[in-house]
């Protein structure tokens, strides 16, 4: 037996009108209404329509009204089922945290697309696009209707041109140019410059009309289109880009334009700094540079050497970490970029513990990019040295960064004062075992230019006489000795370093450092004598080593490092991959 409505329906169907207890159930009595029904009935009862005397409705009943009631829906966060609603403060805190994390050089946001990066990039993008937006707005405001611009009712102002056609325009340009030349000639006469000076001025004016100072073409090394093409190939193929810096002059050997390019055009690539040649600077200076540079990119100190390296384990473990970050990839490629002669190839050789790349103490040794397998999942790419073009760098700066082969420079003696300014006097005395080129104890860089030149000539003469480097007639071979001094400066035989900016060094510490520096140099010299007196020609076969002379030979006769000695480097292959290589090659 059912209950309620079901039971009532059954009784009705079966024609049973009593309710099971003998009571006869009639319609209208014992009639149970449900809530819904009661509600709708109430609606009809809720006031009648008001009518006038004629019976027309003057005010409709509430259920007859066509006016929709003002309804407010209470907001509820449950509507946004999967969304968390957070307060503005919490959003700001989140935004700050994401920004800090993305700026931290030691952390990497791998899947940026899955993060709300627009929260932090919004402003930056806006700034970047601002020009464009303004430009667009301007066009919108200034643009005119088609009818206003063309046709009989055109109201557009025509530009007022002094010429009627293209030919006239060309003629007036030629005339302007000749007037310009006349004015230049006039200015030259007024300035009292003779005919011969004119040639100099003409030399300083480029073909494209841009005025620059005349510079030996050799100082544009590393800036050619070919080299930059090689660089872009390396950057494109690399997941990790290692920017190799010379620890003695990290800021001088920094390529900010390349950093900017990677930051803006390829932000998914990891950029690191590698401070190479750390053996040539005091430890504390290297540490300070590492600390300073780490603020921008992860920085490691390194000393490239087959037998006595420093930082190799750290670098390899870092590369392993990068490869595990990209575990979905079959392998990662690590590109080495930087100024010429900073030791890119030497670092690769150190990592492989094998002479796979040709190295030489002269810039421009690596000519094409080269692939080397470090381990199954890590490939290394060697890149030729690059030099970002700069209008402020003087030939002296360029030469002392090791960009130029000293042999190719005209009158090398003119650059020796710069060497004397960078090095400490006692280091020079100790290196060459000469004394007395300076009459007072004043800082070399503080002396007037004339005095500096005189002292540098005296210095070169002393070395020339001591080493017997004399020309016919007993004159000192100043340029020959200058070449030797410059090479010694670049190859680390004379100790020097650029101190980190804002580094407050007190005198006692400085003294200690200098001493250390001297010892480092001696140690390095010994090391060079033992192992680095060899220069490798083409191929990675150790049997192909060609000995070109020991370090002592170099000191006696510097011409020993001629181009011919390292000519074999031209043959080196473009791409070399050794698939059989395994992780055993390296240790961390
Ligand atoms: N003292 C010292 N010398 C180094 C170190 N690394 C490299 N060198 C020397 O620096 C010179 C240049 O090294 P390379 O490896 O040929 O330099 P590179 O950057 O490949 O040069 P390019 O081929 O011109 O691009 C060589 O004579 C190396 O012996 C280092 O850590 N310490």
pLDDT of residue 79: 75
Residue 337 DSSP label: E
Closest-lying ligand 1 atom to the alpha carbon of residue 346: 15
* 355 and 239 belong to one structural domain: yes
Q: Residue 315 in contact with residue 362, Cβ under 8 Å?
A: no
- Residue 181 domain boundaries: 135-194
Q: Residue 356 in contact with residue 372, Cβ under 8 Å?
A: yes
Residue 565 lies in a domain: no
Residue 7 lies in a domain: no
* 241 and 295 belong to one structural domain: yes
* 171 and 308 belong to one structural domain: no
* 260 and 382 belong to one structural domain: yes
Residue 553 lies in a domain: no
Residue 278 lies in a domain: yes
What are the residue ranges in the chain where pLDDT is below 70? 1-3, 17-31, 83-84, 121-144, 159, 187-218, 222, 502-588
* 317 and 436 belong to one structural domain: no
> DSSP H helical segments within 380-506, as ranges?
395-400, 416-422, 425-432, 449-467, 478-491
CATH number, position 360: 3.40.50.300
The Cα-based distances of 292 to 48, 115, 390 in angstroms read 87, 30, 23
Residue 502 lies in a domain: yes
Residue 91 lies in a domain: no
Q: How far is the CA of 353 from the centre of ligand 1 (A)?
A: 15
Q: How far is the CA of 345 from the centre of ligand 1 (A)?
A: 7
* 157 and 238 belong to one structural domain: no
Q: How many domains does the chain have?
A: 3
* 405 and 469 belong to one structural domain: yes
* 262 and 320 belong to one structural domain: yes
Closest-CA residue, ligand 1 atom 3, reads 277
Q: Which of 474, 528, 520 is nearest to 497 (CA)?
A: 520
User: pLDDT by residue (tens digit) across 190-227?
Assistant: 655 444 444 444 444 444 444 445 566 667 776 778 88
* 281 and 373 belong to one structural domain: yes
Q: Residue 56 in contact with residue 62, Cβ under 8 Å?
A: no
User: pLDDT by residue (tens digit) across 547-585?
Assistant: 323 333 333 332 332 333 323 333 333 323 333 333 333
pLDDT of residue 366: 85
Closest-lying ligand 1 atom to the alpha carbon of residue 302: 31
pLDDT of residue 536: 29
Residue 57 lies in a domain: no
Distance, in Å, from the CA atom of 196 to the CA atom of 338, rounded to the nearest integer, reads 41
* 399 and 369 belong to one structural domain: no
* 252 and 382 belong to one structural domain: yes
pLDDT of residue 19: 59
* 240 and 351 belong to one structural domain: yes
Q: Which of 398, 396, 374 is nearest to 385 (CA)?
A: 398
Distance, in Å, from the CA atom of 218 to the CA atom of 293, rounded to the nearest integer, reads 30
Closest-CA residue, ligand 1 atom 10, reads 343
The four Cα atoms 502, 506, 512, 518 give a dihedral, to 10 degrees, of 50
Closest-CA residue, ligand 1 atom 8, reads 343
Q: Residue 342 in contact with residue 275, Cβ under 8 Å?
A: no
Q: Which of 268, 418, 237 is nearest to 331 (CA)?
A: 237
Residues with CB under 6 A from ligand 1: 276-277, 279-280, 303-304, 340-346, 359-361, 363-366, 384-385, 492, 524, 532
Q: Which of 566, 573, 577, 575 is nearest to 364 (CA)?
A: 566
ipTM of the complex: 0.97
Q: How far is the CA of 359 from the centre of ligand 1 (A)?
A: 6
Residue 71 lies in a domain: no
């Amino acid at each position: 037996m059912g209950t309620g409505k079901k039971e009532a329906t059954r009784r009705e169907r079966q024609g049973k009108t009593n309710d099971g207890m003998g009571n006869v159930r009639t319609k209208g009595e014992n009639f149970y209404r449900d809530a819904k029904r009661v509600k709708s009935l109430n609606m009809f009862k809720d006031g009648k329509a008001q009518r006038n005397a004629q019976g027309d409705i003057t005010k409709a009943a509430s259920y007859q009204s066509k006016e929709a009631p003002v309804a407010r829906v209470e907001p509820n966060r449950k509507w946004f089922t999967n969304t968390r609603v957070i307060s503005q403060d919490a959003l700001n805190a989140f935004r700050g945290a994401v920004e800090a994390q993305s700026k931290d050089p030691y952390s990497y946001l791998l899947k940026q697309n899955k993060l709300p990066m627009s929260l932090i990039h919004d402003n930056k993008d806006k700034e970047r696009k601002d020009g464009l937006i303004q430009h667009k707005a301007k066009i919108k405001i200034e643009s005119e209707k088609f009818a206003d611009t063309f046709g009989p009712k055109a109201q557009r102002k025509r530009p007022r041109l002094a010429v009627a056609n293209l030919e006239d325009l060309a003629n007036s340009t030629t005339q302007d140019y000749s007037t310009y030349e006349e004015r230049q000639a006039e200015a030259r006469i007024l300035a009292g410059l003779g005919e011969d000076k004119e040639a100099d001025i003409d030399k300083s004016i480029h073909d494209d009309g841009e005025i620059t100072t005349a510079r030996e073409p050799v100082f544009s090394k590393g800036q050619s289109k070919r080299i930059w093409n090689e660089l872009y190939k390396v950057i494109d193929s690399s997941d990790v880009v290692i920017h190799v810096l010379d620890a003695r002059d990290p800021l001088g050997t920094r390529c900010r334009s390349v950093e900017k390019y990677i930051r803006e055009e390829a932000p998914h690539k990891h950029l690191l700094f590698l401070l190479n040649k750390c053996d040539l600077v005091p430890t504390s200076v290297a540490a300070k540079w590492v600390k300073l540079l780490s603020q921008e990119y992860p920085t490691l100190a390194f000393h490239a050497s087959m037998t006595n390296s420093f930082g190799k384990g750290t670098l390899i473990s870092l590369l392993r970490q990068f490869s595990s970050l990209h575990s979905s990839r079959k392998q990662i490629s690590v590109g080495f970029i930087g100024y010429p002669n900073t030791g890119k190839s030497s670092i690769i050789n150190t990592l492989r513990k094998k002479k796979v790349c040709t190295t030489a103490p002269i810039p421009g040794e690596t000519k094409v990019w080269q692939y080397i397998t470090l381990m199954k999942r890590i490939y290394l790419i060697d890149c030729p040295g690059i030099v970002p073009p700069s209008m402020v760098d003087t030939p002296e700066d360029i030469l002392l960064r090791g960009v130029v082969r000293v042999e190719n420079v005209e009158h090398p003696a003119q650059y020796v004062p710069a060497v004397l300014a960078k090095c400490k006097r006692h280091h020079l005395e100790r290196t060459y075992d000469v004394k007395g080129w300076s009459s007072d104890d004043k800082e070399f860089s503080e002396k007037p230019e004339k005095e500096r030149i005189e002292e540098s000539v005296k210095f070169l003469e002393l070395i020339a006489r001591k080493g017997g480097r004399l020309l016919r007639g007993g004159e000192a071979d100043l340029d020959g000795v200058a070449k030797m001094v410059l090479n010694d400066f670049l190859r680390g035989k004379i100790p020097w370093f650029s101190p980190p900016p804002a580094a407050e060094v007190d005198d006692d510490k400085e003294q200690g450092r200098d001493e250390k520096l001297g010892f480092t140099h001696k140690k390095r010299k010994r090391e060079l004598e033992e192992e680095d007196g060899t220069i490798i020609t083409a191929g990675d076969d150790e049997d192909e080593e060609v000995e070109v002379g020991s370090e002592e030979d170099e000191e006696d006769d510097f011409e020993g490092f001629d181009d011919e000695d390292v000519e074999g480097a031209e043959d080196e292959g473009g791409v070399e991959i050794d698939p059989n290589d395994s992780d055993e090659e390296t240790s961390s």
